[in-house]
Structure 1
Amino acid sequence: MTTPGPSTALTTPAVALPGWLVARVHTVLALAAFGSALVLGCMLHYKKIVKNGVAGWPKEWWPSVSATIGDWYPERSVFQILIALTAGPRFALVYMLYYVHHSTTLLVIGVLRTFMCGGWVYITSTDGPDVHDACMIAYVVLTLPWMIGGVLCSRGKARKWRRTTASAFFVSLVPLAYFYHQHKVKRIPGAYTRRGVQTRQSAALSVRDESSRRAARRNVCSNSPPCVTRLRSCAARRLARRTELKARTVPEISITAHPIPQAAEPPVILNWFPAFLRSLSSFMSDLYLAHTFWVVFSAVQPTLFYFSIWELAIAGPELAILSALSPALLGVRAIAIWAANKEGQITMHLLSLVAVASYVLSNPLHRLLLVTPATACVTLRQAALLLQDRKGYHSIIWLLGLLMFSLTKFANHSNNPVWPFVDDASGGWNKTGVILAVLACGDLYTRQTTADVPSRKIDVSAMPQPDTHWLAAALPLGSLVFILHAYLTEAGTLTAWAWTGWHDYQPSGPMSKHAALTLLAISAGGALALSSLCNEAEKDDAEKAPSQAQQASSTGGVIAAMLSHPAWYALGSAASFVMYGYRGWAGYAGSLVTAMFWASLVPGIVARAAATGKPGRTLGTAMFIYILMILANVWTVAYAFVPGGVYLRERTDLVMVAQTLLLAPAFAWSREARLKTPVLELPRTARLRAYATLAICCILGLATSLYRQPLAAPRPYSPGPRIITAGIWTVHFGFDNAGRDSQRLISELADDMRLDVLGLLETDLHRTVFGNRDLTRLMVEKKGYFVDIGPGPNKHTWGAVLLSKFPIKHSTHHLLPSPRGELAPAITAILDVWGTDVMVVVSHNGQKEDALDRQLQSMELGRLMAEAYPMPTIFLGYVVTKPHAPKRAPYRYLVEDGLMYDIDEDDKDRWCEYILYRGLYRTAYARVSRGTVTDTEMQIGQFVVPRHGSTTGELTKDERYLRSYREDLPVEHWFPDEYYGDKRSGGKNKHFYHVFDTPLYYRLPEGAHV
């Protein structure tokens, strides 16, 4: 064995790194440290980190740096780990500056400044406020000579860049000191928030200056010692290689202009499968994975909005919606290559399954922490697929996945069975969903390229491309993603838009059972989109054609030209106007045309986005547009709880105009542009399978609609004694206290209490933040109720629902006067109760902050009930008042002006929910605790309807308050025994009779006409 001598060691090549790489690593680590602390802090402890010694939320709404990075776990630990990793590049930058300029002063300042940074980072304001402040001040003071010295030592562009950054930093110190004085000395609420914003701006300028790539490159290359010469020559070789590759590259529709190396194909374990079955398996796997995309993508907003509901304000977790911006990372070539390759696709598929599997977690926050990164992964994966799509295959699969997602919701009472906030108890099929997704990933892993199922590898073959600017492609794509999510992920959303109530025992518009027509409309749009893609025979003819005009004359070319023609855009815009401006069947017809129009645009808009050659910029902008549209859509109704919401109050018209205008760049507005419209070439087998999928979804949708319809008309629980039991419940948007769907819990309690009439409030769930759900589907289809869902999502209310075992003869929707606060919905309905007309009023009035609104709303409700006098009437409402409170509080407007009786005026422990009545004999009154369903109890009133042709007349208080024991009444009047108990024992599903610990019972007066 020989030992290498000195000469051998001298010949070992040195490792050379470009100077800009050190600066870039420092920048990424520093931004990751501060950014992760900010995001985690806002999601987990928002109100705690904005609170200071002067004020808290909402006066203070932006956290300080100190509170964000040092006060709470886990953001403190994540920050400290990442900032520790930043130390190496930071010291390297200090040494590089010294090596180039030989300035000992700058070296000492840089080292001291780094140690001061460690002082205020690791000694938090909670641990030692004096030491923390001293280190922070020293850090800021040392930053001044550090920046000035850097400017003086630099030359050329580096000096100009440093001078600009340093100037901006110095200017930012003035307002920083001013707001600090306002907070520390004058103790003005809100000043600390402005100081916090200014501090982050100053820190960002400081980090950007010392981590400038230009400056770092200039520093390394300004002199020429041996190591620097190697760095410079290395950079020169890299530049020459890049120039040569660019010169040889042919422009193409792909994530990157460079051929992407692929890993070797994994061993195929299914070679014994016939080729046809193998390709069919691949098609079905792609379809299910597209369905999984919509599952995860649509789950993040309901998961995060759970916290906003409880806080009735911006709570911090709303930042999770930014996970949809992950496609912007495709601008980084390394990420684009990884996301497009099979290994990256499988990895992201498996990571997305974390969201599906998170249903096992009982804590809503824990589910959000898993759903958020999974959403980022699944969105990045889908974007990578769409941007490498040369044959329209992945865009069609994406659309079919949406159709499948909407169908499964329609079949499962408007809940997708594999959503993370749905479990076995709420109708979930989560285990089955996870197993199917794993099998689909296994199929992808073992897949080989076939003729009819395109490979997941990027194809580098050239094809005609439209001259598309990246912004003109991003705007329509962002609008399209919003439209598909907001309107087409639930078949019943468009029926809710057109619903107006009942007239002469018949629905005056479409109901949930008609939602299968929405699936047919989406399928029709998908069929048009498929027809715009060439099959193999048309592809051969197009290749032989001498001109683009002849290529466009093929069947696919003609339909593609039609779908990009301004006339098609005009038709879709007109249908959108009908959808917004009309109600009933006319409005729903416009909605169906609009749904077909939207679905038909998917391949064309995706192809334009793929053709730009700027994936990160295009997709990042598109998803940013999507997020803005989502916020605007929510703010039309949630304006009272968000900053600037007043400008979008009840302005769905602005949202619809914006989404339609944003689609305009996707159309060819000149003849030359229409001739250049590319015709995608989808293999024939894939086309046939896509058509078959559309047909199967249509058939299943119609079959589901027929299967879900009750075989018999709804029947009251107690027809013999002529009892009518009515309840009112504010159900918190269909989320229980664990953040899961509460349809089954609501249905079970209503069934146990034998409710013939039920008013549900906070029920308009046809928005992305609620999952586009219908809270009434289960009770209508399983328990047998007539339903009026009240004002639809285009009426900007939180929703009110009337469920009735009795036929609804007529119903009217009302938007109560709301000049200041949230818009209040109400339903007045005439029920046919054994031949007697009984009016039921369901309403959700404003909050306590808006006294004028509550006064005007109560006056209007009192007027409606007084006008119906002496018709028997039941009022079920949320009114926010104390019993017997004087006017302007709502109570007397409803009771006295409305000519109504309080169900029990001796019950002084009420605030939100009230039951009033007249023309009926009240026999029982119960208050049932909220259990785990919501934050509000259920109130129940039991009444007996006078025999047909008779009335109760005017009853005195003594006649109305003949209190009784349960045993003195017939068994039909008894409430179930299972709900006796308290928080510690008894009850059912944590529901129990509370306040009185039992239902209150009343005897009928002498001479009652029953």
Structure 2
Amino acid sequence: MSTSAEVPKPKRFVFKAAYLARVHTILALSAFLSALAIGSALHYKKIVKNGVAGYPEEWFPSVSATIGDWYPERNIFQILIALNSGPRLALVLLQYYMHRKPSSNLPGIVMLSGVLRTLSCGGWVYITSTDDHDAHDVLMISYIVLNVPWMFGTIACTPVQNARVRRRRFFTSMVPMIYFFIQHKVHRIPGAYTRYSFFEWGLILFDVMFDSASELELEAANLEVPFIRCPLTVRPAAYIYWSILTSLTPTLFYFSVWELGIAGHELSLLSSISPFLLGISPFAKWCRTRSGRTTLYLLSLTGLAAYKLDQPLHRLFVVSFATADETTCLIFCEVAGLGFLLSSVAKHANHSNNPVWPIVHEQSGGYNKTGIILACIAILDYATRPSSSALASSSAEKPAPAVKTPGGSWLAGSISLGSLIFALHCLLEDSSTLIAWSWSGYPIKGPVPHLHGSITHVAQMVGLLLPLLLTSSSPAGLDALLHPLWFAYGSASAYVMYAYKDWLGYAGGANFAVFLMAIFPAVLHQAASAGHLARMFGVAWLLVSVFIVANVFTVAYAFVPGGEYFRERTHVVLAVQMAALALAFRWPGLRGNVRLSTPAMSKQARVAVGSTLAALSVISLLVSMYRWPSDVIKPHRVGPRIARTGIWTVHFGIDNEGRDSQRRMRDLIKDMELDVVGLLETDLHRTVFGNRDLTRVMAEELGFYVDIGPGPNQHTWGAVLLSKFPIISSTHHLLPSPDGELAPAIEAVLDMYGTNVTVVVAHNGQEETPLDRELQASELARIMSSSYPLPVIFLGYVVTRPLALRPAPYEVMVTDGRVHDIDDEDWDRWCEYIFYRGLYRTAYARVSRSTITDTELQIGQFLLPKHGFNVTDDSREARNMRSWKEDLPQDHWFPMEYYPELGGKRGHFYHVFDTVKFNSSGDQ
């Protein structure tokens, strides 16, 4: 008996395609009829009432009133319709599959109209006439118009021999549809809304009947959908691999930023060099078995479960252990690229946080339980695969042999692989990092971090497709991606990314993304084929750790020994990365060039990878479209011309418990109804902070214009301006810093009710560097005085005591900057200050931080003079006139629930004064 006869084959599960049509019909009818039944039972008189009359004149509800106005029928209906979207689109594609012909474009046109018809149906279903009458009508009309090419095209494509299907589709559907449409929109008679409602319901029911005819055609064609395990299904190591690896640094550097120096916890980075353990032969042999790999996958899940631990140190221990498990696993290169892209798309969809990171939980935007469940399912799928499965014997388990000339070095392959992994981690982990590198402020001349991240994902997809296409015709196709010309392309792209801003700089970054993703499979195959896997992967991850430390030292040099040698040398780190990558390329005349020969990928596998890449790109684009701002951004108090501002040092978006703090910040900013906010310590586009965008939640959910300030290649800890007033222009400054860390500043001109107001957000130097503070204060004073006498608001972190004399920053900034302290009687401040000029100050408050960060939120409220007028009395006596809040209109009051006598809210309360300081508004 042959060996092949003894190997069990993958089980095949067959699903009749006709069942999809039946499921579609049942779900559609259930959705509409259940809404009609429940609505009639619970809200009958409400849903039959319209703008003209009610019961008993009107006695039958319209579709819009039934599905769109009341709980619970609206919610049940929308759930069922959402479930029906899958079968609906599947039927459109199946019809195209049955009707397609090389000689005709009609099936393609019908498919397009069917997809658009489905989307427009979803539009008027979820946007009811109550929500937006115009949008509902436009989408309904679009749906009806698209019925014409859909129905006539479907009938024309239906084979002549399927007479029963053609009759059912035409005679019971098309004629009533036209008739009901004319009665519904053209021959509407005032007061006859009930009859109109029958027409509207008829439209729905006959549409469902028309589409139900596809069941007959699918049954006649005996079309079946086989479900088999795809040989390139993304393994549990793919997405989880990158999620755990990228979570290590933000979990670790929580301690570094609190200590402002080397805390000792940095040694946990070395958990990633666990591949050295593969040098132990029994262990390496066990890791290659299915049971061994399954065990490692299960152990790595502890990294996902770490979110349940309350103590940051405990989470770090568990994540370090999971990282050691993950880096021990050797992974299939195409799947590794897919997993990396998937992790980036997941971050894009979740406000720049990976939803399974341990630094997030349910309250901070995490989907940790969902991730654990899906990972367990994937591991179970891997563990129970038939041994003949292509995946069980893939090249991940048995690296493809490479033919190499004498002199090939595993060390060169290791160095190039380590450099590549760091480059991916540093630049492409989050889709908006490259945009942050190119950002230059307002007016906007380049991509926006919150909206254009999908372009980065498309570039990554193109990069991953290149090796797929090259290896489809030749096993040695990856060689083309190791040619010196391709390296020249990557080097030129990296230079443009670093040297230029706006769209040109981002174009360089996007091309660099194509380059990096394209060489990923080739570099990984070449490194694996060089032998000495334990040494090779161990050294690669050691180099990744070295790059991570060097990269952060370019900014953190004031707090680490030897940091001054890395100061502002991102270009050096980038150049070293490229030099290390160069070792993987096949330079003419050099010995040791490796000619790659990878196993030919099956057509099914290529389709699976290509489809996955396309799906991820579409998902990313849909997320961007969903998040695209639709509401008009406007300040909270337009009538009285009030501007409420705040300054907050937010400690890199990590709260005292080591969790992401975006949503907690959002809640306080929302409650305080701030119009302009300065945020400091905000540049998180670094590996140590997880490449996060701290503004994403607040900008999208509260509605702000955003200036993220100097980017990560400017070597600052970051400054952000959030504004509900239009930002006319902004300039980014790097303040003089000869001794210590670079201090960022944003100088922006805002249109506040027709008046141009300059707002400056800045982070001053530390107490250890008095020269820096003096020079920076002088530069900030110059910036503020340059616009005199126009209005100015300064929101910043300034290391000085109130009223301190020169050379301390206070007197320099107030006197030379020609501004006023918001409250020069507040002696308790140290770092955060609000200065102003040309405005009436009406209130000042200090809100305790709770456990969000290490500094309070300071708030200043200003009243703008009438348009065309200036402040009439700018004397200290006039500025410091005090009022009880009851003497001012309620528009000037701060939220009452934050008063300490009322207990505060979520751990926040007005402190220091035990109240809020109010001023009279001055002579208007």
TM-score range (shorter-chain normalised) is 0.7 to 0.9
Counterpart residue number, 2:538: 620
Counterparts of 1:370-769 in structure 2, within 5 Å, are 370-381=318-329, 384-385=330-331, 394-450=332-388, 452-455=390-393, 463-467=401-405, 468-503=408-443, 506-534=444-472, 538=473, 554=474, 557=476, 559-670=477-588, 676-769=595-688
Contact 1:900 1:916 in 2 (8 A): yes
Secondary structure of 1:745's match? helix
**Cα distance between partner residues in 2 of 1:957 and 1:917:** 13
Residue 229 of structure 2 corresponds to which residue in structure 1? 279
C-alpha contact (below 8 Å) 1:279/1:452 kept by paired residues: no
Deviation at 1:283, TM superposition (A): 4.1
Question: Per the alignment, in what secondary structure is the counterpart of residue 734 of structure 2?
Answer: strand
**Alignment match, 2:3:** none
| Alpha-carbon spacing, 1:677–1:612, altered in 2? closer, same or farther (3 Å) | closer
- Counting only pairs closer than 5 Å after superposition, residues 39-58 of structure 1 correspond to structure 2 as none
Rounded Cα–Cα distance in structure 2 between residues aligned with 1:445 and 1:380 = 18
Residue 904 (structure 2) pairs with residue 987 (structure 1):
yes
Q: How far apart, in 1, do the equivalents of 2:855 and 2:402 lie?
A: 61
| C-alpha contact (below 8 Å) 2:10/2:228 kept by paired residues | no
SS in 1 for 2:458: helix
Match of 2:296 in 1: 348
**Deviation per residue, 1:174-225 (Å, 9 max, x gap):** xxxxxxxxxxxxxxxxxxxxxxxxxxxxxxxxxxxxxxxxxxxxxxxxxxxx
| 1:277 Cα deviation after fit | 2.7
Q: Secondary structure at the match of 2:904?
A: coil
Whether the 8 Å CA contact 1:448–1:455 is kept in 2: the answer is no
1:920-956 CA distance string (max 9 Å, x none): 1000000000111001000000001112111114511
Q: Distance in 2 between matches of 1:423 and 1:484?
A: 26
Determine the C-alpha separation between the residues in 2 that align with 1:876 and 1:959. Answer: 22
Please name the residue that 1:860 is paired with. Answer: 779
State whether residues 256 and 262 of structure 2, in contact with CA within 8 Å, keep that contact through their aligned partners in structure 1. yes
Instruction: Give the aligned partner of residue 767 of structure 2.
Output: 848
Q: Per the alignment, in what secondary structure is the counterpart of residue 344 of structure 1?
A: helix
- For the 8 Å contact 1:340–1:458, the answer to whether it is kept is no
Give me the whole-angstrom Cα distance separating, in 2, the residues matched to 1:307 and 1:967.
46
Query: Cα deviations across residues 222-253 of structure 1 (Å, max 9, x unaligned)?
Result: xxxxxxxxxxxxxxxxxxxxxxxxxxxxxxxx
Shift of 1:464: 4.2
Q: How does 1:235-274 map to 2 (within 5 A)?
A: none
- Once the two structures are superposed, residues 853-901 of structure 1 have per-residue CA deviations (whole angstroms, 9 ceiling, x without a partner) of 0000000000110011111110000001000001011001111100001
For the residue of structure 1 that corresponds to 2:403, the secondary structure is coil
Q: 1:273 to 1:739 in 2, by over 3 A?
A: farther
Q: Distance in 2 between matches of 1:580 and 1:457?
A: 37
Q: Does 1:310 pair with 2:250? A: no
CA distance in structure 1 between the aligned counterparts of 2:226 and 2:391, rounded to whole angstroms: 11
Q: Deviations over 1:65-116 (max 9, x none)?
A: xxxxxxxxxxxxxxxxxxxxxxxxxxxxxxxxxxxxxxxxxxxxxxxxxxxx
Q: Which residue type is aligned with residue 508 of structure 2? A: G
The 8 Å contact of residues 359 and 421 in structure 1, kept in 2 or not, is answered as yes
Question: Contact conserved, 1:495 with 1:512, CA < 8 A, in 2?
Answer: no
1:286-301 matches, cutoff 5 A: 286=235, 288-301=236-249
Cα separation, 2, equivalents of 1:847 and 1:310: 15
- Asked if 1 retains the 8 angstrom alpha-carbon contact of 2:417 and 2:527, the reply is yes
Letter in 2 for 1:656: L
Describe the SS at the equivalent of 1:846. Answer: coil
Of 827, 835, 841 in structure 2, the residue corresponding to residue 922 of structure 1 is 841
Question: Partners of 1:677 and 1:462 in 2: how far apart?
Answer: 9
Alignment of 1:93-172 (within 5 A): none
- Structure 2 distance, partners of 1:319, 1:588, is 34
TM normalised by structure 1 equals 0.68
Q: 1:457 to 1:473 in 2, by over 3 A?
A: closer
**What amino acid is the match of 1:493?**
T
Amino acid at match of 1:807: P
- Whole-Å Cα distance in 1 between the matches of residues 693 and 411 of structure 2? 36
How far apart are residue 452 of structure 1 and its match? Answer: 4.8
CA contact (8 A) 1:532 1:679 kept: no
- The letter for the 1-side match of 2:532 is K
Aligned residues, how many? 707
CA displacement at 1:441 relative to structure 2: 0.9
CA contact (8 A) 1:874 1:918 kept: yes
SS of the equivalent of 1:654 reads helix
Query: How much has 1:762 moved relative to structure 2?
Result: 0.2
| Residues 1:459 and 1:940: Cα distance change in structure 2 (over 3 Å) | closer
User: Which residue matches 2:41?
Assistant: none
**Where has structure 1 moved over 2 Å in runs of 4 or more?**
267-278, 282-285, 449-468, 506-512, 559-562, 670-680
Deviation at 1:621, TM superposition (A): 1.2
Q: Deviations over 1:483-524 (max 9, x none)?
A: 111111100000000000002xx4555433111110011001
2:861 corresponds to: 942
Kindly state the Cα deviation for residue 560 of structure 1 after the two structures are TM-superposed.
2.4
Alpha-carbon distance, 1:609 to partner: 1.1
Counterparts of 2:515 and 2:725, CA distance in 1 = 39
Q: Which residue of 2 aligns with 1:150?
A: none
Q: Is the 8 A contact 1:342 1:456 kept in 2?
A: no
Partner secondary structure for residue 328 of structure 1: helix
Amino acid at match of 1:476: S
Distance 1:527 1:748, change over 3 A: same
AA of the residue aligned to 1:350: L
* 8 Å contact kept, 1:285–1:441: no
**In structure 1, the residue corresponding to 2:903 is in which secondary structure?**
coil
Q: 1:723 to 1:605 in 2, by over 3 A?
A: same
Give the counterpart letter for 1:364 in structure 2: P
| One-letter amino acid of the counterpart of residue 439, structure 2 | W
Highest CA radius of gyration, 1 or 2? 1
Query: Does structure 2 conserve the Cα–Cα contact (< 8 Å) formed by 1:453 and 1:686?
Result: no
Is the 1:279–1:450 Cα contact (8 Å) retained in structure 2?
Answer: no
Distance 2:402 2:533 in 1: 18
Q: For 1:422-463, what per-residue CA distance to the aligned partner results, in whole angstroms no more than 9, with x for missing partners? A: 000001111100100111111111112456535368766974
Give 3-state SS (helix, strand or coil) of 2:568's partner: coil
- Residue 670 of structure 1: CA displacement? 2.3
RMSD, aligned CA: 2.0
Q: State the match for 1:797 in structure 2.
A: 716
Q: Distance in 1 between matches of 2:808 and 2:617?
A: 52
Find the aligned partners of 2:233 and 2:785 in 1 and give their Cα distance.
Answer: 61
Are the structure 2 counterparts of residues 332 and 299 from structure 1 closer, same or farther at C-alpha, using a change threshold of 3 Å?
same
User: Residue 346 and residue 566 in structure 1: after superposition, are their counterparts in 2 closer, same or farther (change >3 A)?
Assistant: same
CA contact (8 A) 1:715 1:805 kept: yes
Whether contact under 8 Å (2:726, 2:750) holds in the other structure is: yes
Percent identical pairs in the alignment equals 50
Q: Structure 2: how far apart are the matches of 1:786 and 1:571?
A: 36
What residue is the counterpart of 1:225 in the other structure? none
Instruction: Determine if contact 2:777/2:813 at 8 Å carries over to the other structure.
Output: yes
Query: What is the alpha-carbon distance in structure 2 between the residues aligned to residue 619 and residue 508 of structure 1?
Result: 39
Deviations 1:766-814 (A, max 9, x none): 0111000000011111111000000000000000000000100000000
Q: Does 1:1000 align with 2:917?
A: yes
